[in-house]
Structure 1
Amino acid sequence: MDIDRIDRKILDILQREGRLSITELAERVGLSTSPCSERVRRLERAGVIRGYSANVDPAALGRPLLVFVQLTLSSNSGEVFEQVRRELLHEPRVLECHLVSGAFDYLIKARLSAMSEYRDLLAQILRTVPVPAQSNSYVVMEEIKESLVLPVDVAAPAR
């Protein structure tokens, strides 16, 4: 899909202000409402815009503890990776899980209520992994920056 300069402006604005009305968005990108609305729908249909969400304070929901876990499997195969994927995909406390290259296999990000919940989650993960595994954990002491906003080069030339 070709993403032109106006699409990029739309994406940049919507990442920061997803609840903005189409009328306001259209004004800010220099379009009338109908063409702007069609562009947004086209970006949604193409999967460029994957959805809209609220950014919620984890502490307000009793989940102030942020933990990253490196998981190293003793054996690697497509079948093992698929089993791990299935197990971790449906664990609501796991916010992100990435199969990575390097010294370990998975990087897991979890939001939890307390260290006791972290112990329970880690035990559950290690029980459900189909092969022996080792873990290294990193408890976040201070969150410096967390963002889902991707840099958009709004000055990119139109195609």
Structure 2
Amino acid sequence: MAGVDEKDREILRILRKEGRITLTELGRRVGLSPASVKNRLDKLERLGAIKGYSAVVDHAFLDEFVSAILELHFKEFDDSLRPYLSRLSKMENIEFLYVRTGESQVIMKVNVADTDELRRFIERLKAIFGLNLTFVEATLVLEELKNCWVSLTGERRRSENFPSRR
């Protein structure tokens, strides 16, 4: 990418795993002064390499106990859907939203309180897109193992995560 060098990529690799790292520590790890790191971060933000900062939060603390991957199938998928997708991207309980190739044109992850709320959310999608939305495939997430570059598998012992096959 133009305007980005290997030192910038090194900073980005560290930041995507450790978003709260101090400028001093980041500088120490990449061999730059905190002021130089700050200048590079400002540049990376201006270029759009850094799109934002957030925390990986356990959804249960937000009373969101059900996570689901939703695949949206449309009769016709074109630019006329962009305003609707933009509206979806602002919804608080949608964790990710992608336009993709394949049978379903849109895939998203939603976090809700329970399956009744999931059903109501899917009904809202049908109301938003109307008859152009032909099918919504919902897959419940049983366990989250990695999120935003953070491995979550060390939180519980393996035997608690996966039943043994005796």
Say yes or no: TM over 0.5: yes
- Where do 5+ consecutive residues of structure 1 fail to align? 150-159
CA distance in 2, matches of 1:56, 1:116: 23
Superposed CA offset, 1:96-131 (max 9, x none) = 222222112211210111001101101111111132
Structure 1 28/114 Cα, relative in aligned 2: closer, same or farther at 3 Å? same
- Whose helix fraction is larger, Structure 1's or Structure 2's? 2
Cα RMSD after superposing both structures: 1.8
Q: Relative contact order (C-alpha < 8 Å, sep 6+): which is higher?
A: 1
Counterpart residue number, 2:118: 118
User: How many pairs were matched up?
Assistant: 148
CA distance in 2, matches of 1:43, 1:87: 27
Structure 1 22/65 Cα, relative in aligned 2: closer, same or farther at 3 Å? same
The range that moved more, 69-78 or 55-64, is: 69-78
Counterpart residue number, 2:147: 146
Counterpart residue number, 1:101: 101
Matched, 1:65 2:95: no
- Where do 5+ consecutive residues of structure 2 fail to align? 151-166
Q: Give the TM-score of the pair, scaled to structure 2.
A: 0.79
Question: 8 Å contact 2:64–2:112 — kept in the other structure?
Answer: yes
Superposed CA offset, 1:58-88 (max 9, x none) = 1111112110111111233332x22431442
> What percentage of residue pairs aligned between the two structures are identical?
29
Counterpart residue number, 2:155: none
Question: 8 Å contact 1:84–1:130 — kept in the other structure?
Answer: no
